[in-house]
Structure 1
Amino acid sequence: MGDGSLLEVTSADGATIGVEVVGSGPSLVAMHGSTADRSRWAPVREALSRHFTLYLVDRRGRGASTGDPDSYALRRETEDVVAVAAACDDLPGYLGHSYGAVIGLDLLATAPDTIAAALLYEPPFDIGGHTTFPPGFLDAYEDLLAAGDREAALQMFYRAVIGIDPEPMRALPIWQARLAAAHTLVREGRIGLRYAPGQEDFADVGIPVEILAGTTSPPVFGAAAEAAASAIPGARLTWLEGQGHTMIDADPDGFVRKMLDFFPR
C-alpha cells in the first residue's frame, strides 16, 4: 500500500528519480508529459489510488528527480521507467500522457517485459506531414526563455501547439510546476519528437496496449496515435469523442473510467 511517501530510485546513468507512491491495488506507473511534474495527475490521483498503487514519477530534470546530465536522450527516460518498475511490488501497468506516451513507446520497443500493459494518451511526434511544432516555434520559445519570460513561453506553447487558451490553465495548481519545467520542452522538442515507430521495433510486444486520441486535438496527435497503434501488434486505437489533449483536466471522471476499463484490478 502506498501512503503518499516519496520513493527514490537510481536510474542506469546514476540519476535519482523521485516517485510518489500512493494507493492500494495493482501497481501502475504514471509518466506525465512535457512542462509538468507528477502533480499533473492531481485531478485523477485520488480516484485512481482507490484501485491502484500509483507510482507517480517526477520525470528527470524536475521535481524530486535530480542528477539529470546535460546530455539528454529519450532512452534515458525509458531506463528511468525500468528502474521504477523494478521497485514495484508486482509487474506494473504503464500509463503515459503526451511525452510520457512517447517514453512508453520506447519502453515497449526496448523492454516490454518490464510492464504488464500500456495505456498511452496521444504520444506526440511528427508523422506523415503533420508536425507537432509550427515552423520557428522552438527558436521563438528559446528566445523567450533566454529573456526570462517563462510565462509567455508557456502560453505560446498552449496556443500554438496544444491549441487551447492557456488562461484557464493558469488558474490550476499545476501551472507553477509547468513554469518550473518549461525549459525541458526544448530538449524534448529537438530530440524526442523525432521518434518514429516502426513495426520492426515492436516485434516482441505481447502485452495489452491501447492508444487513446481525442477527436478535438490538433491533427498531429491523432496521426501519431494512428501510426503508433498500427505499428504495435494487437494494439487498439480508441478515439475519445469530444476530448482534447487535456482530458485529465476537462473530464477527469471520464479519464478514470478509461483507466478502469483497461487495466486489470
Structure 2
Amino acid sequence: MPAADREPSDTDKVMVTAGDGTSIACWRSGEGPPLLLFHGISADHRRWDPVLPALAERFTVYNVDRRGRGGSDDSDGYAFEREFADTTAAIDAIGGPVDVIGHSYGAMCALEAALLTTNIRRLVLYEPPYRMSDRPVSPPDVVDRLETHLAAGDRDEVIAVMMGELVGVPPEAMAEMRTRPAWAARVAAAHTIPRELRALETYRFAPERFRNVTIPTLLLLGGTSPDSMGQATRAVAEVLPNAQTVVLPGQGHVAMDTAPGLFTTEVLRFLSVA
C-alpha cells in the first residue's frame, strides 16, 4: 500500500507515492472524517475553493492535485490507467473508509478506483464525461486548436476555448471565473488538457464492469448541462445498484462556481448519512 507522509515545511500538504513512483499532492484542511476531492480537466486542487470552507467544517478534506499540475509530479507518457491508479493510491494512503467526490474527469477516476479499493465509504460523482455514442467527446479540430495555442504559448486561450466551447460556460460566468485564483491554476495546467481529451476518446464505458460496485453513490447532474452529460450520468445511475441522482436546477457543469451553496447542500445531505 502506498505511504503518505506530511512535509515538515508544509503541514497542509500530504504527499502520496503512486505505483509508478510519481508523487501526488493532497492538500489537507478541516476536521472530521476523511473526504477526498478529485478535480476534472483543466484544474488543480484550487478548483474546489468555492465549496472548500463548507466541506472543511464537517470533514478532514484531502484536496488532490492530479498528476502533472499543482503540487503533483508528472511522468513521461500518459495513460488514464495511471490516473486511476493515482486515485486509488491517494484513497488507500489516507486510509479508509473515506468519502470521495469526483468532478468530470475526476469522477471517472473515482468510479474506476471503486473497482480497485475497498476503502471508499460513499461516492459523489458529478458528470463523469463518458462517451456514450460514436460522436467524439470533443471535436478533433478543437483539440488541434488547443495544441496549436499551447505550442504558441497562449495558455490562457487554451482555457478559454476549453471552458467556452467544450464545457459550455457562458461568457458572464467565465468572466467571473477569470477573477479567481483557480483561473491561474487552470492556465498553469493547460498542457494537460489535450492529452486528457485525447485519452477520453479511447475510453469506453462498459456497464458490466461496475455492476458489483455497491458503494452508496450520489450522481450530480446540472439541469442545463448538455444532453451528452445527461446520457452518461443516466448510464452510470442505471448500472450502479446503490445510486441516486440529483439534478441541480439551473446549473451546468461547474455548480461549484455558479451555485456553491446548492452544491454543498446536496453533497452534505448525502454524506451525512451514517
User: How far does residue 198 in structure 1 lie from its aligned partner after superposition?
Assistant: 2.2
Q: The residue matched to 2:190 in structure 1 has which SS?
A: coil
TM-score by length of 2: 0.90
Any residues of structure 2 matched to 1:26-175 within 5 Å, and which? Answer: 26-66=33-73, 68-108=74-114, 110-128=115-133, 131-164=136-169, 165=171, 166-175=174-183
Q: The residue matched to 2:205 in structure 1 has which SS?
A: coil
Asked whether the equivalents of residues 126 and 194 of structure 1 are also in contact (C-alpha less than 8 Å), the reply is no
Answer yes or no: is 1:24 the counterpart of 2:37: no
Q: How far, CA to CA, are the matches of 2:139 and 2:15 in structure 1? A: 37
1:79-118 alpha-carbon deviations (Å, 9 max, x no partner): 112221222254101100111111112112x225121111
1:207-256 alpha-carbon deviations (Å, 9 max, x no partner): 10121110111222111111222222232222221111110011111111
Q: How far, CA to CA, are the matches of 1:203 and 1:69 in structure 2? A: 32
Q: The residue matched to 1:176 in structure 2 has which SS?
A: helix
Q: How far, CA to CA, are the matches of 2:17 and 2:140 in structure 1? A: 37
2:217 is matched by which residue type in structure 1?
V
1:119 is matched by which residue type in structure 2?
V
Q: How far, CA to CA, are the matches of 1:112 and 1:14 in structure 2? A: 19
Relative contact order, CA 8 A, sep 6+: which one is greater? 1
RMSD: 1.9
Q: How far, CA to CA, are the matches of 1:119 and 1:262 in structure 2? A: 9
- Unaligned 5+ segments in structure 1 are none
1:123 is matched by which residue type in structure 2?
P
Answer yes or no: is 1:188 the counterpart of 2:188: no
Q: The residue matched to 2:55 in structure 1 has which SS?
A: helix
Asked whether the equivalents of residues 96 and 119 of structure 2 are also in contact (C-alpha less than 8 Å), the reply is no
Asked whether the equivalents of residues 88 and 117 of structure 2 are also in contact (C-alpha less than 8 Å), the reply is no
- Unaligned 5+ segments in structure 2 are 1-5
Answer yes or no: is 1:253 the counterpart of 2:258: no
Q: How far, CA to CA, are the matches of 1:46 and 1:238 in structure 2? A: 22
Size of the aligned set, in residue pairs, is 262
Q: How far, CA to CA, are the matches of 1:163 and 1:26 in structure 2? A: 35
